[in-house]
Homo-oligomer: A and B are copies of this chain.
Amino acid sequence: MKKCVTFGEIMLRLATPGYQRFEQSNSFEATFGGGEANVAVSLANFGLDAAFVTTLPANDIADSAIKELLGLGVDTSFINRGGERIGIYFLEAGASQRASKVVYDRAHSSVSTADATSYDWKKIFEGASWFHWTGITPALGDKAAEATLEAAKTAKEMGLTVSCDLNFRKKLWTPEKANEVMSELVKYVDVCIGNEEDAEKVFGIKAGTTDVTSGHLDHEHYISVARKLIEKFPNLKKVSITLRESISASRNGWAAMIYADDMPTFSRKYDITIVDRVGGGDSFAGGLIYGMMAGKNDEDALNYAVAASCLKHTISGDYNRVSVEEVERLAGGDASGRVQR
């Protein structure tokens, strides 16, 4: 069985129930998630070996995060324990024209303060063929950025495929800082995933005048973004861009493109009634990596990734709890949602 390693931050996710606003709620639904952990869970669900690497404090809350990952089949044996705290994010689910709201409380988390030298990447990558990280990890701070670089370099040296989801987070760093750090990191990447906004914020790559809030998309723009990324980073073998039409917080259009060998491929597009939007991008990355690791061609991998990620939007929590069979059924064309009995 093929193995993929992901590296980043896992947070306690505290979400208000239903559509309650923060001020209304006297309880939180408590789960865990984070871009890279989410990808690891996707891959484990799809039957691959997946290890998630991070640093977590030695307390009961972090224990729960690890137990949940264990139960989902993720290898947690390379998670270091130490530091002060597990990051937290508070989530208030939006609906219709009201946007979902995230309040971060992730500063000083164990993974952001852990020394770059605390991870033994050679040992971690033993037996692995893929390494995935996202732009959130280096944004956590200089130590985390250093660790990411060390990891990416080691992965390349050891012959792993390296993928990166750009994932720009404006509350974590500025575009300037992101540009500086990511420009070095993306040199060690084979497969780059992102959306239009990521490319612009991180690398100043503009796709023109498309108004992403209006519901209109323009294929040419996305192709141009992909081309510019590859021009800037010739090491990139494939660039994949997700195309979200934000009709409202309750309904999104969802599709993606992959660009490889000078060829763009566009996926089928889904009209999604949203249950939980968070983790949507990660589920795309998880689907794409699975598709490629499973040996699918670009189009099939892309359609698998978009279908996987479409299904994620119907599942509460960060993790995409779906099986290969379910994704294949949707990618194969049955989007009817008929009762399985």
Q: Closest 8 A-B residue pairs measured CB to CB?
A: A71-B71, A249-B337, A102-B341, A246-B336, A213-B336, A98-B314, A22-B60, A95-B314
Contact A26 B23, beta carbon cutoff 8 Å: no
Q: Which residue of B lies closest to A274 (CB)?
A: B96
Residues of A within 8 A of B (CB): 14, 18-31, 59-61, 63-64, 67-68, 70-73, 84-86, 88-90, 92, 94-105, 107-108, 169, 171, 212-213, 246-251, 270-275, 277-278, 307, 310-311, 313-317, 321-322, 326, 330, 333-341
- Interface-centre pick from A71, A169, A249 (highest chain B CB count, 10 A): A71
- Contact call B31/A97, Cβ cutoff below 8 A: no
The 15 listed contacts between A and B (C-beta, < 8 Å) are: A23-B63, A23-B67, A23-B321, A24-B321, A26-B31, A27-B30, A28-B28, A84-B107, A95-B273, A96-B314, A99-B336, A100-B340, A247-B337, A248-B271, A248-B273
Given A20-B316, A61-B22, the answer on whether A99 and B27 have CB atoms closer than 8 Å is no
Beta-carbon contact of B23 and A64 below 8 Å: yes
Q: Is the beta-carbon distance between B19 and A248 smaller than 8 angstroms?
A: no
Q: Evaluate contact between A275 and B95: CB separation under 8 angstroms.
A: yes
**Residues on the B chain within 8 Å of A96, using CB:** 272-275, 310, 313-314, 337
Expressed in whole angstroms, the Cα–Cα distance for A104 and B34 within the complex equals: 22
Q: Kindly identify which residue among B92, B97, B307 contacts A311, using a CB–CB cutoff of 8 Å.
A: B97
The distance in angstroms between the C-alpha atoms of A171 and B322, with both chains bound, is: 22
How far is it, in angstroms, between the C-alpha of A213 and the C-alpha of B332 when the chains are bound? 12
- Bound-state Cα–Cα, A72 to B23, Å: 9
A208 to B240, CA, bound (A): 41
Complex interface: chain B residues within 8 A of A213 (CB): 333-336, 338
B60 & A92 in contact (Cβ 8 Å cutoff): yes
Inter-chain CA distance A30–B29, complex, in Å, is: 10
**Nearest-Cβ distance from residue A287 to partner chain B, whole angstroms:** 14
Q: A100: nearest residue on chain B (CB-CB)?
A: B339
CA distance A99 to B313 in the complex (A): 13
Question: What's the least CB distance linking A280 to chain B, in Å?
Answer: 9
A25 to B14: give the CA distance in the assembly, Å: 12
Residues of B within 8 A of A28 (CB): 14, 27-28, 30
A31 and chain B: residue at smallest CB distance: B26
